[in-house]
């Protein structure tokens, strides 16, 4: 049965979410002058007291970037970005890299508190008896504008040889690891936004899990853009050595502003023999208002290399925010028997645009990949799933299964699926399934007849639609993500 | 008590109900029978408050309240339950989650404390046991991949959990073989109580062999044209609906 106009209207009303992270924090900041040139690149590098090799690498990237053009192939549209009209470095004015939470600006801590981030190491640092045992098993690295402000549980992790710190700190303390792996998955010539990131990246997280170590807790980074007119270019590098396991969570928010802000991050994952990396993202950058003004441009390059045999990289993402999302977390399946997974929920509402998907490159023998993508569109939003499955000649016995489901709410939004499949090995098996559905009047009425309000019904149905993906998230995040799915689509009625 | 007075309703501008009068007292089971197109399903949707079913005249008083002024979910919270002719599938939503969301929404409306996971589990175990159902059905998504019989049994379970004051059973027998029909009817009979009224809508008499009504009404061309006791159903089975202006034989 076709949706009645009133229902469409009601659903529209309930889908206009209120963005609850739209506050700014009043903190004195150390900001680079607007604009982008070699001096700015040098400025950033100098601020970070970086070694010569890193500055050289940044400058090489910058020179390449100047010769590149913005990619035009994604199904998104936006006015040209003036790259000279933004700040490329902003740091809370306080000594970077505080030794303990006591040294962190209380205003900052308040911000994270508002965001609901459990920086509970505070307790431990404050010497509260027994707090260590009670604390949740999540270590958090918090990145505010351009600088990592606090990393929790560091000491505990260090005992096991696990390195979890800001990437700027890793550059100082573990230069051999950074030098070896930085740019090894996403080279500085990769693409327009990634290359820009190489030139001006400011901070991000660094993780190294040594051989045979199973990281005992979730590692988590919260990114927040606070300053006006700043871009955020964080860089994350995660290495799981032979037989290691790590589950990593990333969350993002930004204040509500009328202008668009650029976020061009790069994430590189490296999994050696028998290693597993599970990378989960809940992205809730400010999406702009109901008329499509403001919001974050989220142009992100995420890629993982399954270098070793039997290695596994699993991406799970819940994308509810950003005005525009351009993002394709990918896996390069080099090692024999390696496994790549991509589980995605993308929700677009109002005027949001998302072009997102994945790339699975099968190189090794018996490599397997699974893609499950759930797209939900409401309002006037447009969404595209774009995915590449590529089987190279030596990938004997490679298998891929792709499932792309779209759910439409109302009749002014769109969902598009663009799968690219290239197979150069006859033994490969590739499956692609796609469906498009609408929330039906029947389903809504059925729920309401059982006493469930219309907005709760929408949330219930959408959560059911995404279930396959949400169940991939770590427990602590799953509950949050479920609520977020609800909030993105319900907001407050009337 | 439910009092339906001179109820007129249109669907897509076409008048389907043309003045229905019916009074149902607590504990009574009324059957509505009628030929195809008489307005039976329209009546159940109007009482449950579905969008697109517009009441143009008349009233429905439900335990002193104006039923027609309420949203569907409010009616549910006040104790109106519709067992659907075609129960709807909701992929990915577990039966248990669905039921828990429903019962807690209703409890909240009534100012009662919401059930926590343990309390709910206990309740649902009792109910499934009483209905002779397996736990396995609870784990599956709402009605997804259910057989016709399972769907109807699931409706009965929902009714048992939500404990309505007024249950409308819309063509509960459709799509059921005789064994499934017996099981569902047993479930419904187990829920008969002095406080609970039921309106059983059916085309065929056979359902009424198992759910025996106190009153039978014939709905034809949007009006109740004849009322009687349970023997009226047998009469209809014999003579069909021709006497009531139906264009086709039942």
Q: Is the pLDDT of residue A53 over 80?
A: yes
Computed over every residue of chain B, the mean pLDDT equals 91
CB contact under 8 A, A449 and B48: yes
Torsion (CA) A90, A95, A97, A100 in degrees, nearest 10: -130
Residues of A in contact with B139 (CB under 8 A): none
Residues of A in contact with B51 (CB under 8 A): 4, 6-7, 441, 445
- The pLDDT assigned to A126 comes to 32
Q: Which residue has the higher pLDDT, A167 or A269?
A: A269
DSSP A189: T
Confidence of residue A5 (pLDDT cuts 50, 70, 90): very low
The mean per-residue pLDDT over the stretch A482-489 comes to 72
For residue A124, being part of any structural domain is answered with no
Size of interface A-B (CB pairs under 8 A): 80
Rg value, chain A, Cα? 22
Minimal Cβ distance to A449: which of B82, B90, B91? B82
Residues of A in contact with B52 (CB under 8 A): 4
Alpha-carbon gap: B93 to the closest alpha carbon of chain A (Å): 4
For residue A486, being part of any structural domain is answered with yes
CATH 3.40.50.620 holds for B2-244? no
Q: Which residue has the higher pLDDT, B22 or A205?
A: B22
Nearest to A234 by CA among A305, A167, A151, A164: A167
CB-count burial class (<10 Å; 0-12, 13-18, 19+) for B116:
exposed
CB contact under 8 A, A449 and B81: yes
Q: Is the pLDDT of residue A54 over 90?
A: yes
Give B66's strand partners: B61
The mean per-residue pLDDT over the stretch B7-20 comes to 95
Minimal Cβ distance to A450: which of B51, B92, B102? B102
CB contact under 8 A, A464 and B109: no
Residues of A in contact with B84 (CB under 8 A): 446, 449
Chain segment A295-314, per-residue pLDDT in tens: 888 889 999 999 999 999 99
Least confident stretch, A55-59, A380-384, A475-479: A475-479
Q: Is the pLDDT of residue B168 over 60?
A: yes
Confidence of residue A360 (pLDDT cuts 50, 70, 90): very high
Q: Is the pLDDT of residue A256 over 60?
A: no
Chain segment A418-458, per-residue pLDDT in tens: 999 999 999 999 999 998 888 888 999 999 999 999 888 98
- The pLDDT assigned to A28 comes to 57
Residues of A in contact with B92 (CB under 8 A): 463-468
Highest mean pLDDT out of A69-73, A175-179, A352-356 = A175-179
Q: Which residue has the higher pLDDT, B233 or A7?
A: B233
The mean per-residue pLDDT over the stretch B195-210 comes to 91
- The pLDDT assigned to B3 comes to 96
CB contact under 8 A, B106 and A446: no
- The pLDDT assigned to A255 comes to 55
Alpha-carbon gap: A315 to the closest alpha carbon of chain B (Å): 21
- The pLDDT assigned to A120 comes to 45
Q: Is the pLDDT of residue A8 over 50?
A: no
Q: Which domain holds residue A328?
A: 5-97+137-490
Alpha carbon separation from A42 to A8, A49, A168, A263, A430 (Å, rounded): 53, 10, 15, 20, 47
Residues of A in contact with B77 (CB under 8 A): 451
Q: Is the pLDDT of residue A121 over 50?
A: no
Give A218's strand partners: A138
Q: Does the CB of A480 have a partner CB in chain B at under 8 Å? A: no
Residues of A in contact with B12 (CB under 8 A): none
Q: What percent of chain B has pLDDT over 70?
A: 98
Alpha-carbon gap: B177 to the closest alpha carbon of chain A (Å): 24
- The pLDDT assigned to B32 comes to 95
Q: Is the pLDDT of residue A132 over 50?
A: no
Chain segment B32-43, per-residue pLDDT in tens: 998 888 899 999
For residue A131, being part of any structural domain is answered with no
Tally the C-alpha atoms within 13 A of residue A277's C-alpha that lie toward its C-beta. Answer: 31
Q: For chain B, list residues whose CB is within 8 angstroms of any CB belonging to chain A.
A: 48-52, 71-73, 75-77, 81-82, 84, 87-93, 97-98, 101-103, 105-106, 109, 141, 158, 162
- The pLDDT assigned to A323 comes to 84
CB contact under 8 A, A463 and B93: yes
Q: Does the CB of A125 have a partner CB in chain B at under 8 Å? A: no
Q: Is the pLDDT of residue B201 over 60?
A: yes
Q: Is the pLDDT of residue A242 over 70?
A: yes
Residues of A in contact with B159 (CB under 8 A): none
Minimal Cβ distance to B51: which of A6, A453, A461? A6
φ/ψ (deg, to 5) at A422: -130, 115
The mean per-residue pLDDT over the stretch A387-414 comes to 92
Chain segment A141-161, per-residue pLDDT in tens: 666 555 555 566 777 788 899
Residues of B in contact with A463 (CB under 8 A): 92-93
Residues of B in contact with A440 (CB under 8 A): 88
Minimal Cβ distance to A441: which of B51, B92, B103? B51
For residue A109, being part of any structural domain is answered with no
The mean per-residue pLDDT over the stretch A460-465 comes to 89
| Structural domain spans, chain B | 2-244
- The pLDDT assigned to A100 comes to 54
Nearest to A447 by CA among B59, B76, B16: B76
Alpha-carbon gap: A492 to the closest alpha carbon of chain B (Å): 17
The mean per-residue pLDDT over the stretch B159-188 comes to 90
Alpha-carbon gap: B95 to the closest alpha carbon of chain A (Å): 11
- What is the total count of domains within chain A? 1
- The pLDDT assigned to B101 comes to 94
Minimal Cβ distance to B88: which of A442, A456, A463? A442
Computed over every residue of chain A, the mean pLDDT equals 80
- The pLDDT assigned to A341 comes to 96
Output A476-484 pairs: Cβ under 8 A, ≥24 positions apart.
Answer: A476/A136, A476/A138, A476/A218, A476/A249, A477/A249, A477/A280, A477/A282, A480/A282, A481/A282, A481/A318, A481/A345, A484/A282, A484/A284, A484/A318, A484/A320
Alpha-carbon gap: A481 to the closest alpha carbon of chain B (Å): 16
Q: Is the pLDDT of residue B59 over 90?
A: yes
Residues of A in contact with B82 (CB under 8 A): 449
- The pLDDT assigned to A266 comes to 95
Confidence of residue A123 (pLDDT cuts 50, 70, 90): very low
Chain segment B79-92, per-residue pLDDT in tens: 999 999 999 999 98
The mean per-residue pLDDT over the stretch B203-215 comes to 90
For residue A116, being part of any structural domain is answered with no
DSSP structure string for A309-345: TT-EEEEEEEE---SEEEE--EEEE-STT-EEEEEEE
- The pLDDT assigned to A88 comes to 82
Q: Is the pLDDT of residue A18 over 60?
A: no
Q: Does the CB of A66 have a partner CB in chain B at under 8 Å? A: no
For residue A129, being part of any structural domain is answered with no
CB contact under 8 A, A449 and B109: no
Chain segment A88-115, per-residue pLDDT in tens: 877 655 444 444 555 556 665 665 565 5
- The pLDDT assigned to B45 comes to 96
Residues of B in contact with A454 (CB under 8 A): 73
- The pLDDT assigned to A1 comes to 38
Alpha-carbon distance of B71 to B87, in angstroms, equals 20
Q: Does the CB of A466 have a partner CB in chain B at under 8 Å? A: yes
Q: Is the pLDDT of residue A77 over 50?
A: yes
CB contact under 8 A, B98 and A460: yes
Confidence of residue B161 (pLDDT cuts 50, 70, 90): very high
- The pLDDT assigned to A426 comes to 93
- The pLDDT assigned to A116 comes to 54
Q: Does the CB of A470 have a partner CB in chain B at under 8 Å? A: no
Nearest chain A alpha carbon to B50:
A445
For residue A119, being part of any structural domain is answered with no
- The pLDDT assigned to A240 comes to 97
For residue A107, being part of any structural domain is answered with no
Q: What percent of chain A has pLDDT over 70?
A: 76
């Amino acid at each position: 049965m076709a949706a009645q106009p009133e229902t469409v209207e009601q659903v529209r009303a309930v889908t206009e979410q209120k963005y609850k992270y739209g506050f700014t924090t009043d903190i004195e900041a150390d900001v680079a002058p607007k604009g982008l040139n070699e001096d700015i690149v040098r400025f950033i590098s100098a601020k970070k007291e970086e070694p010569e090799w890193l500055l050289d690498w940044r400058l090489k990237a910058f020179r390449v970037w100047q010769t590149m053009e913005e990619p035009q192939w994604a199904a998104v549209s936006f006015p040209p970005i003036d790259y000279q009209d933004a700040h490329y470095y902003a740091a809370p004015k306080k000594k970077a890299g505080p030794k303990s939470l006591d040294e962190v600006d209380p205003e900052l801590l308040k911000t994270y508190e508002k965001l609901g981030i459990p920086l509970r190491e505070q307790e431990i640092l404050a010497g509260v008896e027994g707090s260590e045992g009670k604390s949740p098993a999540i270590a958090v690295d918090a990145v505010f504008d351009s600088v990592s402000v606090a990393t929790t549980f560091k000491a505990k992790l260090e005992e096991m040889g696990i390195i979890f710190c800001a990437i700027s700190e890793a550059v100082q303390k573990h230069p051999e690891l950074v030098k070896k792996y930085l740019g090894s998955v996403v080279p500085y010539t990769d693409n327009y936004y990634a290359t820009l990131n190489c030139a001006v990246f400011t901070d991000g997280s660094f993780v190294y899990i040594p051989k045979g170590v199973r990281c005992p807790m979730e590692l988590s980074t919260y990114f927040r853009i606070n300053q006006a007119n700043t871009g955020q270019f964080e860089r994350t590098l995660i290495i799981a050595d032979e037989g290691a396991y790590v589950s990593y969570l990333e969350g993002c928010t930004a204040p509500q502003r009328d202008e668009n802000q650029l976020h061009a991050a790069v994430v590189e994952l490296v999994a050696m023999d028998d290693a597993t990396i599970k990378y989960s993202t809940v992205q809730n950058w400010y999406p702009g208002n109901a008329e499509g003004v403001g919001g974050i441009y989220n142009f992100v390059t995420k890629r993982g290399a399954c270098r070793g045999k039997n290695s596994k990289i699993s991406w799970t993402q819940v994308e509810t925010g950003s005005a525009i999302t351009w993002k394709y977390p990918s896996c390069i399946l080099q090692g024999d028997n390696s496994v790549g997974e991509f589980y995605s929920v993308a929700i677009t509402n109002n005027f949001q645009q998302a072009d997102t998907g994945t790339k699975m490159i099968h190189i090794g023998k018996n490599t397997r990949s699974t893609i499950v993508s759930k797209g939900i569109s409401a309002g006037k939003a447009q969404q595209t799933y774009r995915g590449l499955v590529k089987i190279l000649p030596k990938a004997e016995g490679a298998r891929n299964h792709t499932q792309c489901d779209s759910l439409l709410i109302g009749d002014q939004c769109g969902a598009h699926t663009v799968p690219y499949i290239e197979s150069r090995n006859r033994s490969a098996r590739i499956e692609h399934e796609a469906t498009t559905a609408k929330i039906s009047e029947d389903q809504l009425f059925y729920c309401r007849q059982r006493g469930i309000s219309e907005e709760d019904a929408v949330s219930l149905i959408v959560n059911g639609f995404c279930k396959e993906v949400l169940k991939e998230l770590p427990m602590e995040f799953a509950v949050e993500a479920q609520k977020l799915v609800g909030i993105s689509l319900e907001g407050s009625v009337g | 008590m439910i009092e339906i007075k001179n109820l007129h309703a249109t669907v897509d501008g076409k008048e389907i109900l043309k003045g229905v009068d019916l009074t149902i007292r607590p504990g009574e089971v009324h059957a509505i029978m009628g030929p195809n197109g008489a307005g039976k399903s329209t009546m159940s949707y109007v009482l449950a408050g579905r969008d697109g079913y517009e009441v143009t005249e008349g009233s429905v008083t439900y335990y002193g309240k104006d039923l027609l002024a309420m949203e569907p979910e409010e009616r549910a919270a006040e104790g109106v339950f519709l067992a659907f002719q075609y129960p709807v599938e909701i992929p990915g939503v577990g039966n248990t989650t669905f039921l828990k969301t429903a019962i807690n929404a209703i409890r909240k409306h009534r100012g009662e404390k919401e059930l926590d996971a343990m309390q709910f589990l206990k309740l649902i175990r009792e109910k499934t046991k009483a209905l002779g159902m397996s736990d396995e059905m609870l784990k599956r998504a709402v009605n997804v991949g259910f057989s016709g019989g399972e769907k109807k049994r699931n409706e009965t379970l929902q009714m048992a959990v939500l404990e309505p004051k007024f249950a409308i059973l819309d063509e509960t027998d459709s799509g059921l073989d005789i064994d499934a029909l017996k099981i569902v009817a047993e479930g419904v009979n187990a829920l008969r109580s002095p406080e609970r009224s039921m309106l059983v809508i059916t085309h065929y008499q056979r359902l009424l062999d198992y759910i025996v009504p106190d009153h039978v009404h014939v709905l034809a061309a949007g009006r109740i044209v004849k009322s009687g006791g349970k023997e009226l159903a047998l009469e209809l089975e014999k003579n069909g609906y021709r006497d009531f202006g139906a264009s086709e034989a039942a």
